[in-house]
Chains A and B, each alone.
Chain A
Amino acid sequence: AQKITQTQPGMFVQEKEAVTLDCTYDTSDPSYGLFWYKQPSSGEMIFLIYQGSYDQQNATEGRYSLNFQKARKSANLVISASQLGDSAMYFCAMRGGGGNKLTFGTGTQLKVEL
């Protein structure tokens, strides 16, 4: 069975600072994908970044980067130069072998302050 753990229910960061949101996972599948989604207060799920289990390099998308440490089974999201609009719930998710579903963590509520 797959499992995603996000241990930070809530975090605060000052505008323009970098912030790391933690995510650890557990799976027996040799091939899997790791995703981060952003959910603003309006409720929609916005795809941010993807990391494949066989990818050698950490994924980056603009201000988002994924710190992938396969041996430690962690896939932390790093947001650089935080903006007020980054305030939202962030979900880490994994899609395993067979890929019939995304398994989600419980989320981290991020608040960016002036």
Chain B
Amino acid sequence: EAQVTQNPRYLITVTGKKLTVTCSQNMNHEYMSWYRQDPGLGLRQIYYSMNVEVTDKGDVPEGYKVSRKEKRNFPLILESPSPNQTSLYFCASSLYLGEQETQYFGPGTRLLVL
């Protein structure tokens, strides 16, 4: 089954404790992206990757890191989480970078930073 998976689905952590949210896709997609969703703001892009070892900042990259060492994986790293990073996070992928290509979303990761 074609899918984007994220782990963990739910996470409660404390300020400053490093964490990683994993994202994996099995569709051989080149393009992957991370979004965060906050009430009243819709989804905003954090980082994206056009291919292995190629990443770039989105609209809200502060406090986050990413890496793309393999085509299928695109982990999101919070080196020192803060309460304002409490959010719902989505990983997404698409076959290529193009305005007509829809993105497929993972199930989401709900993060609470205390």
Contact = CB atoms under 8 A, between A and B. Distances in A.
Q: Interface extent on A, as a size class?
A: 20 to 34
10 contacts: A43-B110, A45-B92, A45-B108, A47-B105, A91-B43, A99-B101, A101-B45, A102-B92, A102-B103, A107-B42
Given A45-B105, A106-B40, 6 more contacts: A33-B100, A52-B100, A95-B99, A95-B101, A98-B99, A99-B100
A31 interface: yes
B103 to A, nearest CB: 6
Q: Interface extent on B, as a size class?
A: 20 to 34
Interface of A: 4, 29, 31-33, 35, 37, 43-45, 47, 50, 52-53, 91, 93, 95-102, 104-107
B33 interface: yes
Contacts of A47: 102-105
